[in-house]
Amino acid sequence: MKKTLFLAFGLAAAFSSSATFAHDRYRERPPVVVSPDLAAPWVMQLAGPNGRPVVYPRQAAQQRAVYQQREQQPVVRRGIFDRSTVQPVAMRPQPIRSRIEPQFLPQTVAYDSKEKAGTIIIDTNNRFLYLVTGNGQARRYGVGVGKPGFEWAGEHRVTRKAEWPDWTPPSEMITREAAKGHYLPARMEGGPENPLGARAMYLGSTLYRIHGTNAPWSIGSAVSSGCIRMRNEDVTDLYERVNIGTKVVVM
């Protein structure tokens, strides 16, 4: 009986002492120290006997930024390419010339031709399109033409005209560009970013067109897949002068 009372008294004293200690310990909120490194995450640590702020070195913060950037890059896993971060070819940034070469600006020039007025003649070697006006003259525009391997020549008629046309890349082009890692959209609505530009004149039953472009710096170059491209302001001017049924001669 005495042992039981002594044990009970000892436990009560210990509990009272612990409660008093806890009361003293948590009487006030412990101070908080914030990391002064503005490049580090917002990390706080309670200050104790050996308390100190938790600071991430600036180099580590920069390294985390690199890792985050890498996570946003396209990833190849088992031959499967993540297209979610791939920009369509039509919208990729291109080097921009400060101005177009003067010879490629629209102008009326002397031009002898057996073709009647209203005929379009395209000189792919010199990158010029002529609209015959008669009396030994023609209105000349600069154009972009087919790149090596995509050149062609022949005669066709304008069979359709379209303003701000949409673009459906041919399956052959989609396959060809995919092999290079460039993924084309299945279809693109007409607009300033569309590679067909402001106007299009379709030639015969072919896939070739005379059209505008979202890359005016390419005028005077051999860069297309066979189409004849013009500056948007120039193709709009030509569009108003040409009717369906117009003869087009490509040399």
Catalytic residues: 211, 227
CA-based torsion, 125, 127, 132, 133: positive or negative: negative
| Amino acid, single-letter form, for residue 241 | R
H, E, C per residue of 77-129: ECCEECHHHCCCHHHCCCCCCCCCCHHHCCEEEECCCCCCCCCEEEECCCCEE
CB contact set of 121 (below 8 Å; sequence gap of 6+): 113, 115, 129, 130, 132, 138, 248, 249, 251
For 242, the enclosing helix (H) or strand (E) is none
* Spatial contact of 141 and 103, defined as CB atoms under 8 Å apart: no
Q: Which two tokens stand for residue 161?
A: 């005209």
From the number of C-beta atoms within 10 Å of its C-beta (0-12, 13-18, 19+), residue 40 rates as middle
* Spatial contact of 124 and 144, defined as CB atoms under 8 Å apart: no
- Cα 165 to Cα 140: distance, rounded to the nearest angstrom: 24
